[in-house]
Structure 1
């Protein structure tokens, strides 16, 4: 299959950002902090290798999967988080130095009308560069250390109550445990999954719903880790809808594998949850972006998913992305949508960017009789770092 143009554009932009960022880090951490040719040459090589690891790790994993390549990919993910915060802290330190210089010039203006700054010696310039680099490295270490602990620490449990139109009185108080964006892969493996399953079972939900981006790899690579889902226990079972990362990992293969694990996969279809006396419809759709990811035959099809259902019945929609809640789910009369995808930004200050891009970035949203919950995700993607956006397990209580 041909590589989509949008993927080539994304990869090209990513490469430019990575190269530019590592050139800046080389300048601030090596060129400005020492005049030794060996020191600068070492820095250039180090920054070159680390930058290349960010660009090449994923293609190399796809071309030659192995234990060594997996370790290489893990290292590149860690470096991505460190590099992001190094850049931010170096920018902050540089800005502070610029501001301090401007203030000093303003104060000197009355006695120095020409505004000529006193020359700065090479030794002092080098000292300031080293001090700034030291501050940036210390700050980065503290931030990424805490963020890594938070990423691997047990997710917080957020509980929310939602009034669901049409829900039978007999089902008042039924609970859904939502997991989303676990991203089983090189860094999230069986031990993480076993602990997650145990914590999910402890919540004693009536059903478990996984709203996409479960995996980042093939069934052959990650089947053992994902098989922990067999141990999920709930009254009405476990349900799953695809996320965009399932299409990168083999959506059809994972559909079959999850079905063998006892997980009900909802791909543009609905099922009845409950019994003959009282029930509601659980609707699941494929990811919103599937067609744009090179899978035109598959993708979000809410019309197919709700075909044949009684519109007066209570309903819950599982859709990986919050996109389409107002335009699709509400118009179809679906009372509650459970989504993920955004990670809540995962890392400050990217949390601010996600809030600006996504109208519904994380948490509960209500409009009239309709509700949407967007999970920050239970795992992480990319850097194993969570800053100001902790992972979560969501327990939703449905009210009649």
Structure 2
């Protein structure tokens, strides 16, 4: 089976699963609303049906047509409606995740109670048997007291508070998610990092490199938004620009807007470097990788694939290298160079002459192999993860996010034995939602060591 068919089937199954979750939560919501507003059943039915279609239509598109359905959604559904729906998908995640954790915890507690040692059960039985005479004696008195007791009045105010509290989590999830939709369109934040260089390399002191990553042209990324990113990059006045992959999203037709962005970049020293991301190869399935690379280079980018270039700056130099996205080729195509071979080739072209060495790699996991090679480098710039798009903070080197597996190198600056990695959070995304993880441009400044 071809990789495209496999991905399509995976997306289709994911759509079916999400649609089922939508249906179950929608059913629970419908029952709760019918109980809360028994006199307005028609309105409740209509509201729930409309809400389900608004919330679930991306999942329904995927369930029917997989990957193609998702792309059809982006082409034919108005962007504001799609963005609102995707925001509600995240709200669903925020509601369903704690509920699922709570249900799992309750199930675990019940299992523990059933699995208590028989000895404990026997001891409880002995205690109960010993207490039985006293209980029998107290039973008539208890019955008399119960008969005399009046039914406890229902506290309507407390009841309303409890009902309102049950809506607090869904309301908060929707508010946070819709705020995340707005945040995904905000102006990129500028993260500044320093790269120490030798003091005698005076021509490099103060040199700046601006990094843009994971734009995903075509995936909720229109011409107006691209102009905002272009202007934000140019406003920095950086000497060099680098783009660390996933400029395109999924189709060669997005090359037109992608090259428009590249042509609009104005690095002070006139050079823009580019490394391939996995989505460049996804887009190449509708044409070929050579077409993608040619289009990017004609727009002014230097596309580096397992190679390095010398950048002369005054009387000094900087080494700029990049490696290919680490992956095997599709069926019927030549496999791309193995990761270790690509690293060895690119780093081997950088002379160990004291000049700073910057390596571009779309996938930050590359750093795991690169950091232990005998071929040195000073800084790796990566992207790919989008910072998780929903960030719950960071503990040590671990970024906490529900959208990515727990692992190193999701977002920010890392260091291992003098070798640095910076993972850019990206300018675009899988979903048009960012919570505590805004779009980002990285500005690297070379400073005297």
In which range does the TM-score fall when normalised by the shorter chain? Answer: 0.7 to 0.9
Cα separation, 1, equivalents of 2:76 and 2:14: 21
Cα separation, 2, equivalents of 1:329 and 1:309: 15
| Deviation by residue 1:209-234 (Cα, 9 ceiling, x = unmatched) | 11111121434245135402212111
1:393 match:
441
**Does structure 2 conserve the Cα–Cα contact (< 8 Å) formed by 1:90 and 1:136?**
no
Q: Secondary structure at the match of 2:77?
A: helix
| 1:281 and 2:324 matched | no
Task: Identify the match of residue 378 of structure 2 among 335, 346, 357.
Answer: 335
Cα separation, 2, equivalents of 1:226 and 1:363: 28
> What's the offset of the Cα at 1:54?
2.5
Task: Identify the match of residue 406 of structure 2 among 344, 348, 357.
Answer: 357
2:283 match:
249
1:108 match:
none
Q: Secondary structure at the match of 1:372?
A: strand
Cα separation, 1, equivalents of 2:330 and 2:70: 27
| 355-364 vs 155-164, which moves further | 355-364
2:132 match:
none
Change (3 A) 1:374 1:96: closer
2:95 match:
89
Change (3 A) 1:45 1:82: closer
Q: Secondary structure at the match of 1:381?
A: coil
1:206 match:
239
**Does structure 1 conserve the Cα–Cα contact (< 8 Å) formed by 2:219 and 2:429?**
no
For the aligned residues, what is the CA RMSD?
4.1
Task: Identify the match of residue 427 of structure 2 among 357, 362, 378.
Answer: 378
> What's the offset of the Cα at 1:187?
1.6
1:56 match:
61
Q: Secondary structure at the match of 2:92?
A: helix
Task: Identify the match of residue 271 of structure 2 among 237, 244, 248.
Answer: 237
Change (3 A) 1:347 1:66: closer
Change (3 A) 1:179 1:308: closer
Cα separation, 2, equivalents of 1:68 and 1:80: 11
Cα separation, 1, equivalents of 2:194 and 2:214: 22
**Does structure 1 conserve the Cα–Cα contact (< 8 Å) formed by 2:11 and 2:62?**
no
Q: Name structure 2 gaps, 5 residues minimum.
A: 36-40, 106-141, 144-150, 393-398
| 1:303 and 2:335 matched | no
| Deviation by residue 1:69-89 (Cα, 9 ceiling, x = unmatched) | 342677445423312223423
| 196-205 vs 39-48, which moves further | 39-48
2:19 match:
19
Cα separation, 1, equivalents of 2:406 and 2:331: 20
Q: Secondary structure at the match of 2:358?
A: strand
| 146-155 vs 310-319, which moves further | 310-319
> What's the offset of the Cα at 1:334?
1.5
Change (3 A) 1:295 1:128: farther
Task: Identify the match of residue 367 of structure 2 among 322, 325, 332.
Answer: 325
Q: Secondary structure at the match of 1:32?
A: helix
Task: Identify the match of residue 345 of structure 1 among 388, 412, 416.
Answer: 388
Provide TM-score, normalisation by structure 1: 0.79
**Does structure 2 conserve the Cα–Cα contact (< 8 Å) formed by 1:156 and 1:390?**
yes
Matched ranges for 1:173-212 at <5 A: 173-212=206-245
**What number of residue pairs does the alignment pair up?**
380
Cα separation, 1, equivalents of 2:178 and 2:54: 23
Cα separation, 1, equivalents of 2:199 and 2:362: 24
Change (3 A) 1:296 1:9: farther
> What's the offset of the Cα at 1:53?
2.4
| Deviation by residue 1:60-104 (Cα, 9 ceiling, x = unmatched) | 78489779834267744542331222342366589999x9xxxxx
| Deviation by residue 1:31-81 (Cα, 9 ceiling, x = unmatched) | 332164885587468636743523535957848977983426774454233
**Does structure 2 conserve the Cα–Cα contact (< 8 Å) formed by 1:247 and 1:290?**
no
Change (3 A) 1:225 1:4: closer
> What's the offset of the Cα at 1:315?
1.1
Cα separation, 2, equivalents of 1:31 and 1:67: 30
Which structure is higher in RCO with an 8 Å CA cutoff and minimum separation 6? 1
